[in-house]
Each structure stands twice: as structure tokens, then as C-alpha cells.
Structure 1
Amino acid sequence: MTVRQGSFDEPGPDSEATRILPLLTGDGDQRLLVNWVESHEVYTLVSPDEQVSSADFDCCILDGDALKTHGETLRERERKREAESVLLPCLLLLPEADISVISTDQGEIADGVVFETVDEVVSMPIKKAELEWRTKALLRLRSQSLKLDRKQQQLRKFKQAADAAGHAIYITALDGTIEYVNHAFEEMTGYASSEALGETPQMLDSGEMSPAYFDRLWDTISGGEVWKEEIINQRKDNSVYHAFQTIAPVMNEHGEPIKFVALQSDITQRVEAEHRLERFKDIVERVGDPIMLQDCDGRFCLVNEALVEYTGHTKQELLGKTEYAFMDEESAARIEARKQQVLTQEHAVQYTISPSFSTVESATFSTIRYPYYGEEGTIEGTIAICRDITGLQTRENQLQVIDRVLRHNLRNNMTTIGMFAEKIAAANSGETATDAERIHATSQRINRTVEKERKITKFLTEQPGERTVDLVTIVESVCGRISDKYPAANISCDLPDACAVHATSTLEQAFIELLENAVVHSDKKEPSVEVQLLANSGNSTLHVADDGPGIPEMDRKVLTHGTAIEQLYHGSGLGLWLAHLIVTYSDGTVTFSENEPRGSVVTIQFLS
């Protein structure tokens, strides 16, 4: 059946939705009952011609014959309403002497027949006043059943919502005994519902909270107020978790707490992230180099104390500003260009800059600027880490000066020695000529060593930038140059159509050192060197195989592991060390193996 409960707030004589179905078989009685219903503005007459199985009514008034006709239908409807705890009252009117409809053949009242169908039996004739109060009484019972049904529905909805909630919910009695927990509570704490019911929240006590915390908690909720605080609890497996807990008292009609409802949100990850953030912030503040976060317009969003010291401005003065606020305009413009490069290309850039500040005359910084991405994964600015290399640059400049002076003097002196040695060899014979030739060869070797040292010093002090290079073009060029320089050598190249890697701009020098080393140190009149370049997905490999006497163990360590320079003992070692440095700075690796049947194979691998 369909009952319009939404409009039936208070069934009874004061309710507009109270619908009465009259089912009296006597025409006169039926007419009187219909007139009685229609005389009440608060009652609505339901047509007796409607199907009883589907009629929408709040109370049915019937007689014995109608009960015989519609009894089974009414009983079926009542059974359906019992499942929802909603009463659909029926008032049976019987002549005082006629109880056959409600008695058995033994003369007993047939409870199973009547009281499962009707709720009250009244003898006729009945006065209007009695009919009035009996109808009101039945409608009050229906109103109470509907109220109870609404509360039960609300309770069911609450339980469904609580069980589906992603936060832990539990309900306790006034003494703290747990009476209900939802599924999220079980998942968060590790305790099953059967383990938690009858216990108190003390089962979750981690020992991290002070007695004063719990005293304040109980004082708050016992006084009828809501408690909201973070708490550290302990799961069944003894692991600790952080939760934000809200506990609210459930009040009765007198405003007194009768139960407590608690909701917990697991904030362990958030708390741990905050702790990590605090540690990171502490580290950033302790770093002596300026670190800053800037938005896409270049405005400072985060700065550390090191930048404050260099600029002479407070953090409050710097936030929201750009470098133009404290730096010379030329340097600020260069930095702005670098920011735009990072924002456009979305990869880190490294640069050196020497700005002027109000607090110091000048300083030189080696800066790495990274793209900064927000929570949505879109770029929202840049992060810069600036290392003060003022002193380092001064030392490098001094080193370069000393290097140039020593190299210039040494090379000039060695050239002079070589010239005198040539004259002595030309003017003499025998051992004197032989010694002079050795002196000349030694001076040339020293000059070659000086030249390699110059290249190494330049590489270490200048550190050329990285870029995408074409290995095929570089290898072809180097093989051609070495073949022209040493025409007796047989150099073959096996190269792919294309092979690009990200490497330093001096990568070509590394290949020159490897090929020249293979040719110069060969013990054959016509040395052979095979160069093979393989372009694979994710990495590229270059093999340099020779048929010489092999690379000495010391030189192998120099080439593959970058043995310390003080251990180098001849010019070839310096060249191999330079090759190792260049390949390493290009994110490559160098390995060595024996060639068959004779010689060495040097393999370089690069990330593509």
C-alpha cells in the first residue's frame, strides 16, 4: 500500500492528511458514517469504491460483513506494515448481540482472526462522541507508530552513513563504555567491533598524551560542549597513529548528556609531512648559501636567512619583490632571463653571476635554478640555490695565472733545450749524438704533457656546459683527423646513421685522447684501430679496439676510475685522465677489456 507519510506529521483530528475509509455494508449506517467523516474538516473521506488493497487511508471503520469480505486483504496489509513498525488501525463495529464474526464454533473469541486484522471492536449502536474518541485514540496510536518508524529510519540511515564513512566513528555511554564502532574504526585501529564493544577508549591510549589532556577532554564533553583536538593513539598492533578527534555529547530533552559520539580522522601522514617540512625548513635556514622560491612573475615566495644577510633586507621586505629591489639592474635582468628559460624549457639551468648588493661590494654565485611544480602538476615558479664561490673563483683565477706563467716558461725552456739538443746531435756522433737525441725527444714529450695539463686545467676551472651532441659527426671527424696525423695507422669506423647524446661540449677531446693513445703506444709499424658506435634505445655505446701491446694496469685505473693525478707518471696518463673527466661529466662510464687475440678494447656508454 501507499501511505503519504510526508504529509502525515500528526495523525488525528488536527491533521489535514487523516484519511478515513468507511466500509459498512448497511446503506443507512454507511451514509451516516460518510456524513460523519465529511463533517470533520480534519478528516478526508476515502471512497468506499476504491480497492482496499491499494487505497490510501490512515484508519478503516468497518462492520462484520466487510470484515468477512476484506479481512484477508487487511491482514496482508497489516503484516506488511508490521515489518516497518507502522500501525494501520481498523475499527470494527458490530451489533451488540452478533459476535459470530469474531467467535469460533466453540464460542471463543477468535484472536487470530480478529486482532490480527482489527485493532478495536465496538458494539453498535455507537454514539458519535464515542466514535469520535475511539477514532482519535486509534489515530494517536498510528501517529506514535509513524514517529517511531521515522526515528528507526533515521537510525538506519545514520548507521548506513556511519558504516560508509571514511572516518572512524564510535559511540560511548556516559561512563565511556563503547557501544558502537563503524568499519573505519576497525580499519584505523585494528580492533574488530566485537573486541571494542564494552571496552573504553583507553584501549587506544598510547601513553603519549598527558593526564591533563584527558582531564580537559572529560570536563569539556561532560559540560555539554564539543571537544576538538589532535591525539596520538595506539593501534592493536602497537603502532602509533595521529588523529584529529571530535567528541560531541548527545543531549536529552532536558539538555543533559546521555551519550558521546566521537569522530576520528587519521592525520598521521599530514603530521609526518609537517615534521619533514619543519626539518627541511630548518636545514634551508641553516644553509649558508641563499635559497629562494619565486613565482612565475619572479616574486619571492620563500627566502632563507642567507639571502637576508646578503641583501640587507628583512624577509618581510623581500617577500613579494624581485631581484630588482636589492640588486644592480644588469644582474637582475640576467637572472630574469634565466627564470624565463626555466619556465619555458621546464628543466634546471646552471649559471654564474656576480651581482652587487648594498651590504657587500660584490659576490660571485654559482646558481642552479629548478622548475617548481604545484600540487596539480603545473609549473608555478622556480627554486634557486646560490652557492657563493667568490673565494673559489679568486683561487681559480690565481691558479690559471700561475698555470699560464709556469706553462709558458716551461714550454719556452723545453723548446730552447730541444733546439740545443738538435745542434749537439748534428755536430757530434756516437753516444753524444744519441744522448742529444734523447734530450730532444724528452723535451718534446714534456711539451706534450704541458699541453695536456693545460687542457685539464681549463676543463676543471671552466667546466664547459652540456648540450646535445651528434656522436656520429664527432667520431667521423676524430677518425679522419687521427688518420691524417698518423697515415701509417689503419683506422676503421662502423657508425649508425644518427646517434645523439647529452654531453659536455668538449666530448670530442676525449675521443681524440683515446684514439691517439691507441696509435701512439702501439708497437707495430702499421697499428690497427677499430671504432664501433652503437645507438641503442636509452643508451649509446662506443667501442675503441686496438691490436697493440695493451694498456698498462696503471693507465687502466686512470681511464676507468680516474686515479688521483699525483699517481700519474707520464703524458699518456694525463690524456687518459682528461678522457675520464670528460666522459664522467657527460654522465658516461668507461670500461676496459682485453682484445682478441691481442690489444685492448675501451668501451664508453652514454645515456641517450
Structure 2
Amino acid sequence: MEGGTRLSSLARHLLLGFVGVVVLYLVQTQNYLLFHSIVELFSITVAFAVFTVVWSARDELGNQFFAILGVGYLFVGGVDLLHTLAYKGMGVFPEAGADLPTQLWIFARYLESATLVGAGALGVVSKSEHPPLREWSDGFISALVGGYATVVALGLGSMFVFDLFPRAYVAGQGLTDFKILSEYIIIGLLTSSLFLLRQQRDRFESPVYKLLAAAIVLGAVSELAFTAYIDVYGISNAVGHFLKFGSFYLVYLSVVKTGITEPQKTLYRELARREDEARKFEQAVEHSGHAVVITDRAGTIQYVNPAYEAMTGYTEDELLDENPRILKSDEHEDAFYEEMWATVLAGNVWESEIVDERKNGEQFVVNQTIAPITDDGGEIEHFVGVHKDISERKKQEQELLQRYELLFDSIRDAIVVADTDRRITNANSEFTSLFGYDLSDVAGKSVKVLYEDDAEFEQMGRAIGDHADERRFSQTIGYEKKSGQVFPGETTVFYLRDADDDVVGVISLIRDVSERENRIQQLQILDRTLRHNLRNDMNIIQGYADVIQHTGSGGATENAQEIIDASDRIIENVSKQREVTNLLSEPQPRKSVDLSTVVEAVVSNIREQYPDGDVSLTAPDECTVRTLPSISRAVEELIENALVHTDRPNPGVDVTVKCGEETIEIRVADDGPGIPEMERDVLRKDQEIGPLYHGSGIGLWLVNLVVQQSDGVLTFEENDPRGSVVTIRLPTN
């Protein structure tokens, strides 16, 4: 609708211009001098009107093109006025002839085309900056007017005083070469100005841009017409003036008329854009979820949005002309507010959490950002504050902190928190119980005070550096209590990381494993003693039994063989006991293994050792899991146990490997007499080891230990129709 109305208005004015051309044509046929005077006076009036409109709007002008155009057209109109007065037949300069008005014409057109080029060039250069004219200094504007005045004064002086301006018209011959060449130069300048205008077309309303472009085109065509006349009253001269009339009429429509009736589309276009942005900003602030307040430099409140009213409990009327200190609580020292004011008065942004007080006396916590608003000279005029109520978040943080502290102090292991320099920053109550130090005794000190000696301290330091790419690691290290007592501590170290994943500290969970270490030491001593003494004694027994077997006869030979077999079993159990001891005292690290390959190798070896047994295997091509390398020994023990403890001449054992998404199973099913119930109950811890326990299955103990250290489960079932099914279940991850 608006576009249609605008088009209709433009059409009416173009029709009016056409009527004017028709009237001028009729006048021209009757009196050429009157025709010339009307056209020139119209163009002079338009030029002066352009200056008047632009000069009146100079304080808020947003387009440099119009600024240059306005000042330039003031002088173009002045020179055109002299041209009109000097024209043949006007009688103002009777002795000058036709050359003077032609010289003035050329000078005026040079001035006009140079103005359009200069305005276009300046507009292109500053296209991205949009500075209003008032941001130019008064000195620059004065220099611009002075520059034009100097050029015009020199030009007029060269014509009226010094007679230096080149001849433009010779009576009886017509136009000089200078005049014709100048017209083409002026056409070139106008064409350049049209190109420059196009480069910044987005800074003009579309109708204004089109009218200006058309005015320049008509001006260029007008100059072309003025290259061919001989008689100043001739048809070519007349055509040129008709085109000039059209060109200045279009300038009138684009600058004067639009500048008066719709200034926001020409002179104040940038101002209108800024006002529109301001309205949008105000609407955004009004509907923002953040509380916004604006004060003057002294801190007097001048604006609050609805969110600020809702947050504080005060109405806008109660807040305006007040100071934000109306919300001040007693939670901050004066130094806090002094630092805030010093920051914002220095032109910097202040951001902090602050505790304020609502109208009803309730305290609340806000995250506040205060920024200065400066004028064009950089002086602070206002401050804007953006506040976000974080009371609920702070409450949740406090609750989480309390839970953390409760958990921190409830953990039964000693916890020590240290920074990257290994200085103690925090510790729990169990730390005090274990080491004998209060946190106040060691806070800020090096953790070195907790270690048995420098070597242990340095060893842990190297470990912390070596495992920095991991989430955690564990290591047993020597510590020293406040009393001087040393003890082994199983230590799990976690890394504290910031938002950028950089290590900012470590948390150490320390458990006193003195009793465990003592039991392991006792177990190792017992292992060495049994292994040494039993092997030696069994070797002696086997030696005597071997002699009896080779020298004796009858029942003695058979008894000797029984002695040898029994001693072999004892030595084998001692070896298994050795494996159990090693697993207990030196836990193995888990590794990725292909269970299908491992079990296949075990079955292959068993078939060679027990050719009378029927051992079958069902397994996938590949089944990878992280477990102890000794898992192969556990599988071997289960199969061997089924073949050895059988009551059949050709025992059968079925081995199956199943690879699931969450668990992996190794199933060993036999057709023997089965595993005694007491043996299974002890392994499942359903029954304690008492005086009546006579289990001989050290091998099953070994299997159970390997499975436990692999985070697996060992289960027993009855086979159908007879025998046992032992299953190892391991987690895939």
C-alpha cells in the first residue's frame, strides 16, 4: 500500500515536470531569452534550496553525500546566477558578449560535476562508518566552505579581473575547442559520479537513489547537447537547457521535496535507522529476563525494566531518581563498593556477585555487570547494569557443598588435596586420624612432610607426572605419621582439572595397608618355607621310594609307587600354592586378550597331556576382553581338574566360549563325579573353613582368585545326567 502511494505521488510529480517542459517549449518558441531565464532561475532556486535543506539538517545528517552536495550547490547556484545575468540580451554585462556566459556555464558545470564526484567518493570511503555530519569538526565544515569560496573566487577573478580563463565561444564561429573538450571532461566526471553513487546505493532509499541517478544521466546528456551549438539561441542550446531543467527537477524531487516532506528517507535516514534500532533495543530490554538498570554518572536511577522491578520488589516510580544503594545489604565492606566505583569510573566493566536486599528485607544474590556509556567525546554519561538473580543457584551450590563436605569427611580413607606445587590445600577428618595432623598444621605446606623419606616423595612425584593423561592411578608408598611411625599406604591419585582440562591439583586417597602387607609377608615366608622344606623332604621320600620300587618285590613295589604318586601330588599342590601366593602378594595388571585363542591353546595342550580324555571346544573366531593373563591358567586348571578327578576311563569335557555384549562366558562341563558340595560352599564363602574341612582343591582356589581379580564371577552347577558345570563370567569392559 505504501509502495503504491509512493509510486502514485512520483508519477504526479513527473507529470507536473512534463507539463513544465511543455510550457517552457511554448515560451521558447515565443521568447528564447525568457525561456533561458526561467530554466536558469529554476535551477538556481533548486541549488539554493538543496543548500538550505542540507544546512538546516547538518547537526543530524547521516549521509556525507548530501553534506558535500549541499555546500557545493550553494556555489554552483551562485555561478549559474552570474551566467544568467551575463546571458546575451540580459544587458547586465553589455560589453562582454557571448563568451562570458559560456565561460561561466563551463565553470559552473565543472563545479557541479566535481561536487558530485567528491560527494560520491567520500560516501564510498566512509560507507561502513556512518558518522553524522556533526561528528565532523566545525573547522572542517568551515574549510569546506572556504575551499569552495576560494575556487569560485579564483575562477571568477580569471574571467572578470585578469582575463585568464580560456575562450569558450567566438562570435560567428561558435564553440571553441576548450569548450567542447571541457564538456566531454564534465560528461566523464558525471559518469564517474554515477558509478560512485551506485557503490553506495544501499545508503539511499530506492526512489531517492533512482532520482539522483536519473538527474546525473540527464545532466550528462545535457552537456553532450552543449557541444554542438553555434548560436546561443539555437536549437542545440535549447535542448541542452530542457535537459538541464529535467536534471535539476529530479534533484529537487530527490533532495528538496523528500528532504522536507520525508526527511527520514534522505537527510535523516541514518538517524531514523538509529531510532529504529533504539526502539528495538528498548523492546528487547523491556522483555528481557535479565534485570536492567540505567543511571547517570552520579548513580541516580533513570531507567529500570520490568524484570528489575520484579527482582527488587520496588516499582519503577519508587526507583526512579533513587540510587541503587537502596538495595544495599550489610554483607559487603565499603572497600567492595569503592573498588566497584573506581572500576566503572575508569571506563572499565565491573562484574561480580553481590548480595542485595529486596523491598521486603529479603536478601538475594545477583550476578551483576556494570558498564559505562560514553558520549561522542568518550566522556562517561551513564552506567548500565545487567543483573541476574542467582539466589536459587547459590542455594543449590551451598547444599551441594554441604553434601560434599559430609561425603568428604565420611570416607574412611584419608584424603589429601594438593595443588600443582604439591602444597596441601585440604584434608578430611580421617586424615587427622591416620596421620595425627590437623589440617591447620599442614595447610599450605608441601606434602613432603607426609612421606617416609625423600625417595618416597620423589617416587610419587614421578608417578603423578607419568600418569597425567589418565583419570587416576594407584600405588603403594611409604608414609610417616606425626608420631614418627612409618606405614605402607595404598594411594589412589585423582587429577583435578579445570574447564580447559588442565591439571590444577591432585586428590590422594590413602589407606593404611600395614596389616595386609604383614599378612602378605607372612604368606611369602610360609610359601618359601613350605616350598623349600616340602620339596626337599619330598625329594628324599621319592628317592627312597624309587629305591624300594627297583629293589623290592611284591606289595612293597606297589606301595613305593603309591608313595611316588602321592609325593608328586604334594609337589604339584606346592606349585599351585606358589601361584596363589604370587597372585595375593603381587596382583597382575589386566591386559586385552583374545579368549578364543587362549582357550584353544589350552585345550590343545590338554589333549596332548591326556590322550584318553575327550575334550571338545566351541568358541567364536574372536572374543577380546581385558583380564589377567593368568586366565589361561584358570581355564587349564578347570579342564585338568575334570580329567584328573574322574571315575571313567575315557572322561569327556565340553568347553564353550560365549562372547556377549555385556559378559563373556567360559563354560567347562564334565561327566565325572562332580565337585564336592563342601568345596563349592567354601569357595562361595557359604561355609567357613573349619576343622572338618579337608578340601584338596588348591587348583579351584587358584581359579577363584584369578576370576575375582578379573572382576568376574565363578559359578557351579550340576551337569545332566552327571558331572559338574563350572562357568567363568567376565565383564566385556
- Residues 180 and 78 from structure 1, CA distance in 2 versus in 1: closer, same or farther, beyond 3 angstroms? farther
Question: Which residue in the other structure is 2:368 paired with?
Answer: 245
Unaligned runs of 5+ in 1: 56-64, 88-145, 182-195, 205-211, 235-239, 252-256, 430-436
- Residues 502 and 241 from structure 1, CA distance in 2 versus in 1: closer, same or farther, beyond 3 angstroms? farther
Question: Which residue in the other structure is 2:590 paired with?
Answer: 466
Question: Which residue in the other structure is 2:713 paired with?
Answer: 589
- Residues 202 and 488 from structure 1, CA distance in 2 versus in 1: closer, same or farther, beyond 3 angstroms? same
Question: Which residue in the other structure is 2:313 paired with?
Answer: 202
Structure 1 distance, partners of 2:304, 2:442, is: 57
> Structure 2 matches for 1:79-478, cutoff 5 A?
79-82=261-264, 86=268, 152=275, 155-156=278-279, 158-159=281-282, 162=285, 168-171=290-293, 180-181=305-306, 201-202=312-313, 214=327, 216=329, 229-230=353-354, 243-245=366-368, 262-264=386-388, 266=390, 276=400, 280=404, 289=414, 291-293=416-418, 295=420, 299-300=421-422, 302=424, 304-305=426-427, 306=431, 309=435, 314-318=442-446, 323=448, 328-343=453-468, 346=470, 348-354=472-478, 360=484, 362-370=486-494, 373-377=497-501, 383-398=507-522, 456=580, 459-469=583-593, 471=595, 474-476=598-600, 478=602
* SS in structure 2 at match of 1:377: coil
Identify which of 70, 73, 88 aligns with 1:19: 70
1:492 matches 2:616: yes
| Counterpart contact for 1:351–1:366, Cα < 8 Å | yes
Question: Which residue in the other structure is 2:59 paired with?
Answer: 9
Identify which of 616, 626, 648 aligns with 1:524: 648
Structure 2 distance, partners of 1:217, 1:244, is: 17
**TM-score normalised by L of structure 1:** 0.54
RMSD: 6.8
- Residues 577 and 562 from structure 1, CA distance in 2 versus in 1: closer, same or farther, beyond 3 angstroms? farther
Report how many residues are paired.
Answer: 478
Structure 2 distance, partners of 1:604, 1:375, is: 42
- Whichever residue aligns with residue 444 of structure 2, its letter is Q
| Counterpart contact for 1:445–1:571, Cα < 8 Å | no
Structure 2 distance, partners of 1:218, 1:585, is: 55
Question: Which residue in the other structure is 1:502 paired with?
Answer: 626
Structure 2 distance, partners of 1:379, 1:197, is: 40
Question: Which residue in the other structure is 2:671 paired with?
Answer: 547
- Residues 261 and 314 from structure 1, CA distance in 2 versus in 1: closer, same or farther, beyond 3 angstroms? closer
Structure 1 distance, partners of 2:498, 2:687, is: 44
Structure 2 distance, partners of 1:4, 1:283, is: 76
- Residues 83 and 324 from structure 1, CA distance in 2 versus in 1: closer, same or farther, beyond 3 angstroms? same
Structure 2 distance, partners of 1:4, 1:76, is: 12
- Residues 538 and 287 from structure 1, CA distance in 2 versus in 1: closer, same or farther, beyond 3 angstroms? closer
Give a deviation string over 1:182-202, Cα, whole Å, max 9, x none: xxxxxxxxxxxxxx6986733
Which of the two has greater helix per residue? Answer: 2
- Residues 506 and 268 from structure 1, CA distance in 2 versus in 1: closer, same or farther, beyond 3 angstroms? farther
- Whichever residue aligns with residue 656 of structure 2, its letter is Q
* SS in structure 2 at match of 1:360: coil
Question: Which residue in the other structure is 1:185 paired with?
Answer: none
| Counterpart contact for 2:285–2:305, Cα < 8 Å | no
* SS in structure 2 at match of 1:530: strand
- Whichever residue aligns with residue 291 of structure 1, its letter is V
- Whichever residue aligns with residue 394 of structure 1, its letter is N
Structure 1 distance, partners of 2:721, 2:331, is: 88
Structure 2 distance, partners of 1:175, 1:218, is: 22
Deviation at 1:341, TM superposition (A): 3.7
Deviation at 1:261, TM superposition (A): 5.2
| Counterpart contact for 1:328–1:357, Cα < 8 Å | no
* SS in structure 1 at match of 2:305: strand
Unaligned runs of 5+ in 2: 1-49, 62-66, 86-103, 109-140, 153-189, 194-207, 214-244, 316-324, 345-349, 375-380, 556-560
* SS in structure 2 at match of 1:316: coil
State the percentage of identical aligned residues. 27
Structure 2 distance, partners of 1:76, 1:213, is: 50
* SS in structure 2 at match of 1:9: helix
Structure 2 distance, partners of 1:168, 1:153, is: 22
Give a deviation string over 1:15-68, Cα, whole Å, max 9, x none: x9793667999x869989x99xxxx96995899x9999549xxxxxxxxx99x9
Deviation at 1:591, TM superposition (A): 4.6
Structure 1 distance, partners of 2:280, 2:703, is: 75
Deviation at 1:586, TM superposition (A): 0.9
- Whichever residue aligns with residue 544 of structure 1, its letter is V
Which of the two has greater strand per residue? Answer: 1
* SS in structure 2 at match of 1:364: strand
Structure 2 distance, partners of 1:599, 1:287, is: 45
Structure 1 distance, partners of 2:611, 2:537, is: 31
Give a deviation string over 1:194-240, Cα, whole Å, max 9, x none: xx698673399xxxxxxx994549999xx997996435999xxxxx9
Deviation at 1:585, TM superposition (A): 1.1
- Residues 355 and 546 from structure 1, CA distance in 2 versus in 1: closer, same or farther, beyond 3 angstroms? same
- Whichever residue aligns with residue 376 of structure 1, its letter is D
- Residues 258 and 289 from structure 1, CA distance in 2 versus in 1: closer, same or farther, beyond 3 angstroms? closer
Bigger Rg, structure 1 or 2: 2
Structure 1 distance, partners of 2:679, 2:600, is: 26
